[in-house]
């Protein structure tokens, strides 16, 4: 089943599409640190921010979900954790804690039950991607593109948790934290722009990996495999029918075709 973008935000001055809600403290876009190309979202000491879906709806995924973000810590001087919570269904939570005391990323299965994922350091951008399913109540956790925790448990529901939303929170005394290139996906396709096409190689239909990217900032939007029977593919795009994208089709390791300036159907 495909995953569709429900909220994508690079916090950039020209491509802001999502928006966010400050739940506590001080949260603002910043040019102090950023991935690419210009801004990030700065979460100051003892602050919190949450993201809902772009359309404001609270619609549970049917099964699959994923979120991804880049995070940068100014220092590691705090003894309190920076933590992220995603609530896909209302009865399970994907929770990641970044422990400044020992430089460990951990996932939680209960209030005080944590398991190591990987080490992290301040002063550099870290890419986190988490993919999960409701049917399995499990998740896969990637750090900088490497699968570090495979098929591990989610956390039991927390009373007052945010339904179908994700939150980022710094503790008291935390250093400034910056997040960038935030993605939230579910398997609900309603309201998503798409583009379709056919892949052929030397006159024969081909099953290639096909990806869509937003042209303004290079953000990966969707990926699929074209049909080996008729070559067809459908990819999600972002925003409205004027937002330009480019598509790539991977023939093999050293041959990739690209189509530029694609907009939604």
Partner 1 sequence: MATIAEYITEEGSAVARTVFAFKHSDGVLAGSVTSDAGTGEASITVATTDKHYIVALDDESGSNYNAVCKADITPT
Q: Applying CB under 8 A, does 127 fall inside the site for partner 1? A: yes
Rounded Cα distance between 54 and 41, Å, is 17
Q: Applying CB under 8 A, does 37 fall inside the site for partner 1? A: yes
Enumerate residues 6+ apart whose C-beta is below 8 A from 215: 243, 244, 245, 246, 260, 261
Query: Residues, the chain, total?
Result: 265
Place of tokens 């007052």: 160
Total residues at interface with partner 1 (CB under 8 A): 29
Place of tokens 């404001």: 56
Q: Specify the stretch interacting with partner 1 by CB under 8 A; choose among 25-33, 163-171, 226-234, 246-254.
A: 246-254
Relative to beta strand 21-24, strand 104-110 is unpaired
Q: Which of 158, 207, 259, 263 binds partner 1 (CB under 8 A)?
A: 259
| Residue 86 structure tokens | 């995603």
Instruction: Pick between residue 172 and residue 253 the one whose CB is nearest to partner 1.
Output: 253
Q: Specify the stretch interacting with partner 1 by CB under 8 A; choose among 39-47, 109-117, 229-237, 244-252.
A: 244-252
Binding mask 176-215 for partner 1 (x = CB under 8 A): -----x-----------------------------x-x-x
Instruction: Pick between residue 59 and residue 127 the one whose CB is nearest to partner 1.
Output: 127
Residues 148-177 that bind partner 1 (CB under 8 A): none
Q: Applying CB under 8 A, does 100 fall inside the site for partner 1? A: no
Place of tokens 């896969």: 140
| Residue 113 structure tokens | 């039950």
- In angstroms, how far is CA 163 from the centroid of its own chain? 17
Rounded Cα distance between 31 and 29, Å, is 7
Binding mask 48-87 for partner 1 (x = CB under 8 A): --------------------x-------------------
Pick from 127, 120, 129: nearest CA to 175? 120
Pick from 245, 249, 194, 196: nearest CA to 220? 245
Closest distance between partner 1 and the C-beta of residue 133, in Å? 18
Q: Which of 36, 44, 80, 91 binds partner 1 (CB under 8 A)?
A: 36
**Residue ranges in contact with partner 1 by CB under 8 A:** 36-37, 68, 125, 127, 129, 142, 144-145, 181, 211, 213, 215, 217-220, 223, 246, 248, 250, 253-260
């Amino acid at each position: 089943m495909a995953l569709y973008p429900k909220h994508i935000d690079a916090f950039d001055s020209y491509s802001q599409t999502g928006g966010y809600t400050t739940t506590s403290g001080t949260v603002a876009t910043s040019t102090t640190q950023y991935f690419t190309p210009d801004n990030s979202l700065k979460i100051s000491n003892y602050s919190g921010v949450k993201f809902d879906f772009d359309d404001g709806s609270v619609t549970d995924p049917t099964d699959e979900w994923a979120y991804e973000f880049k995070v940068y810590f100014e220092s590691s001087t705090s003894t309190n954790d920076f933590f992220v919570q995603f609530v896909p269904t209302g009865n399970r939570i994907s929770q990641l804690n970044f422990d400044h005391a020992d430089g460990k990323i951990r996932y939680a299965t209960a209030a005080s039950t944590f398991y190591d994922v990987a080490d992290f350091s301040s002063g550099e951008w870290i890419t986190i991607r988490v993919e999960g399913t409701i049917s399995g109540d499990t998740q896969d956790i990637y750090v900088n593109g490497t699968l570090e925790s495979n098929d591990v448990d989610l956390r039991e529901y927390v009373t007052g948790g945010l339904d179908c939303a994700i939150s980022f929170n710094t503790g008291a005394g935390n250093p400034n934290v910056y997040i960038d290139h935030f993605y939230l996906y579910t398997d609900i396709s309603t309201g998503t722009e798409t583009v379709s096409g056919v892949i052929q190689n030397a006159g024969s239909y081909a099953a290639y990996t096909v990806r869509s990217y937003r042209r303004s900032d290079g953000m990966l939007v969707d990926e699929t495999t074209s049909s080996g029977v008729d070559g067809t593919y459908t990819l999600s795009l972002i925003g409205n029918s004027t937002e330009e994208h480019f598509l790539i089709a991977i023939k093999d390791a050293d041959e990739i075709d690209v189509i530029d300036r694609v907009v939604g159907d």
